[in-house]
Amino acid sequence: MRKIGVTVAAALQGLIGYGGRFLFGLLFLCTVVVQTVLRLPKGEWADVLPNTVWSFLVLIGLLAVTYLSRGWLKRFSNRQIFIAGCLLYLLAGLGLIFFTTDVTRYDAAAVFRSAVEMNAGDYQSLEVGGYLYRYPHQLGLVSFERLVLTIIPIPNATVFFVLNLAMVLGINWASWQLADRLFANRSISRYTLLLSFAFLPQLFNILFVYGLIFGLFFASFGLLFLVDYLHKQRVRDAAWATIFLVVSYWIRNNYIILLVAVALILCLEFLKKGIKQHLLLLLAIISLAFGLNKATTAYYSSVSGQDLQGMPKISWLAMGLQDVPNDIRQPGWYNYYVRDIYKETDGDYAAIEAAAKTSLAERLAVFAKDPLYALDFFRIKLLTTWTEASFESIFSGPSKWRMQPHRTDLLKDLYQGGNSYILLYQWFHPVLMLIYGGAALFLWLRKPKEEEVIHLYPYLFLAGGLVFHLLWETKSQYVSPHVYLLIPFAAAAYVIFWEKWQSRKEKTSS
């Protein structure tokens, strides 16, 4: 029976590995051919454009500087590099916080306002038609913000900007430690640190208080404890992994995809090694994640006296397949459908569900009638989601058309899509190319059947996110955590490739 399990695990692992080579090779090729640029004066309109020569020049420059400085970098410990990166981020991050705005907007503002109101005993957002009545999936994030505001009773979004900044530094530390645990190679850890700090959407996202950073912080530490558990089989590591992963999902439900990836990894580990505790850990993570969400909804339902069903899930799927003429967003992006259909039906759950089913059936009929249109629809949706290298981190910051201030000319130019934004994008895109290219290279350099199962977690997480957002409504801001978690593996690929090339060179010369 054990041999069958090992054989099945090896086959599944190989299938995932070979599939990953194709998928991540495709993503890398997409970033080589095109880049998606968010046109800030147009809001969230994403233009898919041919890649520019500047992206390649910056990419070549990055590789050249990294090559030329490799000896100099060895003079510093990874701890020193991390501290230097933290100091730069603190300087830049605090500058962003104190020279822009102290307010949020859109859904982030609604969540923050709800947290402040409920801590003051006002539960109007849970009343019929209120924000949380319509979108109860935000209750975990609201609860987390309420907890923070209880500890730091300052009802100002700046508290969360600073918390985001601290958590970004924590995420980069966890990424470094993951590289240490996974590869035990000082060079891989060093370049993981450099690439983590080079991924600037993380820095600019500190002004976006919508749970992405909070969720990624807890997810990163959950993965760190999961790796420790798999290597050392300690119960306390399993317990901490469970807590952190469950909290990441509680705060931001999108991390359900990561929980599924972790579940698959634990299943494969069980099949390969027959350790039954892996299945107990899987059961604990999944049951506690769903249990905490249910308990949170039940608590707020009790407090408000409302049945917090929220919008039917099918309405989000229907929106994700829509193509609205003259819209300010690309096909399949969030387009206010769920808000508008709620108003049109006066919040009638059955009517919303029926309307969404009709919309979905109509769109599927269009796709079936015109396969070339369907192919183009999903092509645009994939490219605008996964090749928009800023991941809306600038768009999500202070906005001129929302009357949010910028206290310096540089930041005003940046957040209004001026020359500084265009120049910065020429950094964003080459870094994305490096991450996708390294992630694909890692799978080509390592034999899938011999690879550690835990090495699959970022690939499964991104693949799940890609499928999900091809069908569900999408925005490029949603997928930055999927890309960020690839960084240790991209760094590992380049170091392994260099070491193998050096080894062959030495053999040839001798």
pLDDT at residue number 279:
93
Reading the block at residue 188, the tokens are 């891989």
For every residue of 357-376, DSSP letters joined together read HHHHHHHHHHHHH-HHHHHH
Task: Tally the domains of the chain.
Answer: 1
Phi/psi at 312 (nearest 5 deg)? -60, 135
pLDDT at residue number 266:
95
pLDDT at residue number 275:
85
pLDDT at residue number 41:
67
pLDDT tens per residue, range 440-474: 999 998 875 556 889 999 999 999 999 999 999 99
pLDDT at residue number 495:
94
Share the mean pLDDT of the chain.
91
Q: Is 416 helix (H, G, I), strand (E, B) or coil?
A: coil
C-alpha of 415 from chain center: 22
Structure-token match 């991104």, residue found = 462
> Whole-structure pTM over 0.75, yes or no?
yes
Identify residue 447 by its one-letter amino acid code: K
pLDDT at residue number 401:
55
Q: Which of 215, 303, 207, 310 is nearest to 253 (CA)?
A: 215
Q: Which of 461, 510, 496, 5 is nearest to 254 (CA)?
A: 461
Structure-token match 């919008």, residue found = 311
Q: Is the pLDDT of residue 399 over 70?
A: no
Phi/psi at 320 (nearest 5 deg)? -70, -15
Phi/psi at 123 (nearest 5 deg)? -110, 35
Mean pLDDT of 198-212: 94
pLDDT tens per residue, range 299-345: 999 999 888 888 999 999 999 999 988 777 889 999 888 989 999 99
Judge contact between 485 and 457, C-beta under 8 A.
yes
Reading the block at residue 229, the tokens are 């558990």
β-strand 46-50 against 34-38: which pairing, if any? antiparallel
Q: Is the pLDDT of residue 109 over 80?
A: yes
As a whole number of Å, the CA-based R_g of the chain is 23
The residues that bridge with 38 in the sheet, in sequence order, are: 46
Judge contact between 473 and 211, C-beta under 8 A.
no
Confidence class for position 476, pLDDT limits 50, 70, 90: very high
pLDDT at residue number 187:
95
For every residue of 223-291, DSSP letters joined together read HHHHHHHHHH--HHHHHHHHHHHHHHHHH-GGGHHHHHHHHHHHHHHHHHH--THHHHHHHHHHHHHHH
Q: Residue 325 burial by CB count (10 A; 0-12/13-18/19+): exposed, middle or buried?
A: exposed
Angstrom distance (rounded) from CA 306 to CA 125: 11
pLDDT at residue number 402:
53
C-alpha of 210 from chain center: 12
pLDDT at residue number 327:
75
pLDDT at residue number 397:
82
Q: Is the pLDDT of residue 403 over 80?
A: no
* % of the chain beyond a pLDDT of 90: 70
Q: Is the pLDDT of residue 222 over 70?
A: yes
Q: What is the DSSP letter of 306?
A: S
**Greater confidence, 16 or 350?**
350
Q: Which of 497, 482, 389 is nearest to 438 (CA)?
A: 497
pLDDT tens per residue, range 377-397: 999 999 999 999 999 999 888
pLDDT tens per residue, range 13-24: 777 778 888 999
481: containing domain:
2-509
pLDDT at residue number 325:
80
For residue 27, what is the enclosing H or E element?
Answer: helix 2-33
Q: Which of 178, 196, 192 is nearest to 89 (CA)?
A: 196
pLDDT tens per residue, range 258-305: 999 999 999 999 988 888 899 999 999 999 999 999 999 999 999 998
